[in-house]
C-alpha cells in the first residue's frame, strides 16, 4: 500500500470508477458510485454531473444506471467480496451505520464483523462512535480511536449522521475542523487508507430538509474525490436508477423505498447501501 496520502487518493479515483461498473452488475442495486468534483485529483469524479441550483448551490446528478428490479430483490455480493473479507477495516459510525452493518450481514455471510476498538487482521471491525448532534466530538473520538487500536486497520471508514446537522450548523466551520482532523490523521497513520462517507439524508416527506447535509457533502466530494463513499447518492437514487429530490426540487433526498422512518434505512435500503459499500471498499488499492 502506498504511504503518501495524495498518491492513495489518485489511485482511489480509479478504484471508485471501477466500483461504478461493478455496481451495475449487482442484482437489485441502483448506484453506489462516489461522484465528485475532486480538486485534488487530476482524474476528477466517478460519473456524476453537477448543475447549478438556487443560490449557486451545486447539485450532483447521479450517473445513468441500468434500472434495478422492483420488489424485494436482494443484491448479490460481487465477486470482489472475498477481497474485502481478507482486509482489515475499521468502521466508525452511529445510527444509520448500524443499518449498513445489518445489510452487510444479510448479503455476505463470509464477512467477519466484530465490535470493538481493537482492529484485528482480516476483520471488519465496527464501533458506535460519539453522540449524535456533536460532530466535532465524533471527530475527536475518531482521532483517539485511531491512536489506539483503530490504527492497525488497512482501511478506516468515518461516517457522520444526519442528526449531526441542524439548520443553523456552520458548515464552513465544521468542514474546516473535519479537514484539519484528517490532515493530522493522514500524517499520523500514513499506511491507513481513510474513506470518507457523505452524510445520510432525510426522506422527501420528513419534516427536516437536507440542505445542510447537502452543503457538507458537496464539500466532502470536492475535497476528497475518489476517497468518498457516497452514501447520500445511494440513498437518493431509487430502484430504477432515478434521482430523488427534497421538497425544494434541488437537494437530494432519501428514497422512500429505502426508508424505514424518514431517516433510517429499511431492510431493502440496508442491503442496497451495503452492496455499494462492499463494492467500493473491495476496489480500493
CB 162 within 8 A of CB 213: yes
* pLDDT exceeds cutoff 50 at 10: no
CATH of the domain at 101: 3.40.50.1110
Q: Rounded CA gap, 40 and 284, in Å?
A: 17
- In tens, the pLDDT along 220-269 reads 999 999 999 999 999 999 999 999 999 888 899 999 999 999 999 999 99
> Among 74-78, 105-109, 201-205, 228-232, which stretch is predicted with the lowest mean pLDDT?
74-78
Higher-pLDDT residue of 180 and 39 is 180
Looking at the 3D structure of the chain, how many domains does it have?
Answer: 1
- In tens, the pLDDT along 30-59 reads 333 333 333 333 233 333 333 333 333 333
Written as one string, the DSSP assignment of 183-247 is HHHHHH-TTPEEEEEPPP--BTTSSS-SHHHHHHHHHHHHHHGGGEE-HHHHHTB-TTS-B-B-T
CB 274 within 8 A of CB 109: no
Burial label for 99, CB within 10 Å (0-12, 13-18, 19+), is: buried
* pLDDT exceeds cutoff 80 at 78: no
Q: Rounded CA gap, 274 and 68, in Å?
A: 16
Query: What is the reported pTM?
Result: 0.73
Residue 103's domain comprises 5-41+78-282
73 found inside a domain: no
63 found inside a domain: no
β-bridge mates for residue 157, sequence order: 91, 195
53 found inside a domain: no
Q: What average pLDDT does the segment 188-202 reach?
A: 97
Q: What percent of the chain shows pLDDT beyond 70?
A: 70
Q: Rounded CA gap, 104 and 109, in Å?
A: 8
Query: What's the pLDDT at 129?
Result: 92
32 found inside a domain: yes
At 188, which helix (H) or strand (E)? helix 171-188
22 found inside a domain: yes
Q: Rounded CA gap, 234 and 252, in Å?
A: 10
Query: What's the pLDDT at 161?
Result: 96
227 found inside a domain: yes
Query: What's the pLDDT at 205?
Result: 74
CA distance from start to end of the chain: 7
Query: What's the pLDDT at 237?
Result: 98
Amino acid at each position: 500500500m502506498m504511504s503518501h496520502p495524495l498518491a492513495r487518493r489518485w489511485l482511489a479515483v480509479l478504484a471508485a470508477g471501477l466500483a461504478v461498473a461493478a455496481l451495475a452488475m449487482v442484482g437489485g442495486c441502483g448506484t453506489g458510485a462516489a461522484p465528485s468534483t475532486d480538486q485534488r485529483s487530476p482524474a476528477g469524479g466517478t460519473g456524476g454531473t453537477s448543475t447549478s441550483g438556487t443560490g449557486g448551490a451545486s447539485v450532483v446528478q447521479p450517473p445513468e444506471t441500468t434500472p434495478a428490479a422492483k420488489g424485494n430483490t436482494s443484491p448479490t455480493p460481487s465477486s470482489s467480496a472475498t477481497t474485502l473479507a481478507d482486509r482489515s477495516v475499521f468502521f466508525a459510525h452511529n445510527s444509520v451505520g448500524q443499518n449498513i452493518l445489518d445489510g452487510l450481514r444479510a448479503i455476505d455471510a463470509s464477512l467477519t464483523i466484530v465490535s470493538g476498538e481493537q482492529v484485528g487482521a482480516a476483520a471488519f471491525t465496527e464501533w458506535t462512535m460519539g453522540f449524535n448532534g456533536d460532530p466535532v466530538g465524533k471527530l475527536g473520538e475518531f482521532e483517539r480511536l485511531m491512536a489506539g487500536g483503530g490504527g492497525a486497520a488497512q482501511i478506516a471508514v468515518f461516517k457522520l449522521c444526519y442528526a449531526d446537522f441542524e439548520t443553523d450548523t456552520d458548515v464552513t466551520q465544521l468542514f474546516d475542523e473535519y479537514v484539519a482532523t484528517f490532515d493530522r490523521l493522514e500524517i499520523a497513520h500514513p499506511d491507513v487508507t481513510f474513506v470518507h462517507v457523505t452524510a445520510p439524508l432525510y426522506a422527501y416527506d420528513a419534516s427536516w430538509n437536507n440542505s445542510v447535509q447537502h452543503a457538507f457533502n458537496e464539500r466532502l466530494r470536492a475535497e476528497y474525490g475518489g476517497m468518498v463513499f457516497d452514501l447520500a447518492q445511494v440513498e437518493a437514487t431509487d430502484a430504477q436508477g432515478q434521482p430523488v429530490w427534497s421538497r425544494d426540487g434541488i437537494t437530494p433526498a432519501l428514497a422512500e423505498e429505502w426508508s424505514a422512518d424518514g431517516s433510517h434505512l429499511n431492510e431493502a435500503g440496508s442491503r442496497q447501501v451495503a452492496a455499494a459499500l462492499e463494492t467500493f471498499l473491495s476496489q480500493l488499492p
